[in-house]
Amino acid sequence: MQKIKIGVIGGAGYTAGELLRILIYHPQVDIVFVNSSSNAGNPVTVVHSGLIGETDLIFTSELPLEKVDALFLCSAHGDSKKFIEANEIPEKIKIIDLSTDYRAKSPAHDFVYGLPELNRDAIKKATHVANPGCFATAIQVALLPLASKGLLQDEIHVNAITGSTGAGVKPSSTSHFSWRNNNISIYKPFGHQHLQEIGQSIKQLQPDFNKSVNFIPVRGNFTRGIYVTAYTHCSLSLDEASALYQDYYKDAAFTFLTDKNPDLKQVVNTNKAIVYLEKHGDKLLVVSIIDNLLKGASGQAVQNMNLMFGLDEKAGLGLKAAGF
């Protein structure tokens, strides 16, 4: 099979770095160009130094779109839409957008929401895919089995802590070492931008859902990973809930139910989502963990590319070389 020719837009950030680390070793991919206007002419390894000795790619400001089969858009939120509107992109090119720009369903675009645990068949047929947000991925993995049976009948309470890489590569007052180390805080309580796509997906499976998702995001003092705890009223026993989750994820390539209380390092440097259940009275507690840069961003983007091109869904996504 001829290799897929890839272009990357916005190649200097954390998600782009993770994407390049995956694609360089993907057995069916050739990276044609990595676009970054601020780094044009510099070796990719100047920014992504972990790739020294593994690639001789050079950042470019040019856009040789006619040479690629697929584009990954890794630019800041708002920039993907600007890029697509400003450039004539050949119809044959498949696009995977990692920003928020096209996650909301709209008659104005044809992007498919790229959560394989929800839309695998639609992704396989799509030309344009909107990659989900990191918090959104972890929270949906926790809730969608319940929504699939119309069982979300009460408010949902979610606490989720994320690593500092979720804030992006540009330093800020709450991401630099002196502030983040040995520290913790909440942000955007009840109003995080990922709530829109979470609600959209729940209603896709359970159209009558009209309760609140009470989400408290937490800044963690570690670099990568998301740990979600969610609970809601549920009439199912633990055995019944476990059977539901096992059935819902029986064909999932990377999402697994465990009967052991998990820890975050189990998913760091993997494309896995691990889910754990406990029953407390009439409440079902769901723990969901992912790597925010992989299953929450670049790994899932490659998973979507694999589906779009008819490849093995797991191609290039073995990862996990270290246990700690």
DSSP sequence for 224-283: S-EEEEEEEE--S-HHHHHHHHHHHTTT-SSEEEESS---GGGTTTSS-EEEEEEEETTE
pLDDT digits (tens, 9 = 90+) for 286-323: 999 999 999 999 999 999 999 999 999 999 999 876 66
For residue 26, is it left (φ>0), alpha (ψ between -120 and 50) or beta? beta
Residue 230 pLDDT grade (very low, low, confident, very high; cuts 50, 70, 90): very high
CA torsion angle for 204, 293, 58, 52 (degrees, to 10)? -160
Catalogue all structural domains in the chain, each as residue range(s) with its CATH number: 4-131+297-308 (3.40.50.720), 134-290 (3.30.360.10)
In the chain, the amino acid numbered 292 is: N
Q: Give the pLDDT mean for 179-187.
A: 90
Q: Look at residue 191 in the predicted model and tell me its pLDDT.
A: 87
Q: What is the pLDDT of residues 250-292, one digit of tens each?
A: 999 999 999 999 999 999 999 999 999 999 999 999 999 999 9
pLDDT of residue 52: 95
% the chain with pLDDT above 70: 97
**Which DSSP helix (H) or strand (E) runs through 123?**
helix 116-125
Given the residues 130, 134, 198, 268, the one annotated as active site: 134
Computed over every residue of the chain, the mean pLDDT equals 94
CA distance 231 to 287: 9
pTM score, two decimals?
0.95
Catalytic site includes residue 134: yes
Find the length of the chain: 324
C-alpha distance across the termini of the chain, in Å: 37
Instruction: Read off the pLDDT of each residue in 46-72 and give the average, rounded to a whole number.
Output: 96
pLDDT of residue 320: 74
Q: Pairing mode, if any, of strands 255-258 and 213-219?
A: unpaired
For range 205-228, the mean pLDDT: 95
Distance of CA 101 to the CA centre of its chain: 14
Q: Which residue has the tokens 């947000």?
A: 133
Average of pLDDT values for 163-182?
Answer: 79
pLDDT of res. 175: 77
Predicted confidence band at 167 (pLDDT cuts at 50, 70, 90)?
A: low
Of 165-179, 239-253, 258-272, the one with minimum mean pLDDT is 165-179
pLDDT band at 127 (very low <50, low <70, confident <90, very high): very high
Q: DSSP labels for 196-221?
A: HHHHHHHHHH-TT--S-EEEEEEE-S
- Residue 168: pLDDT over 80: no
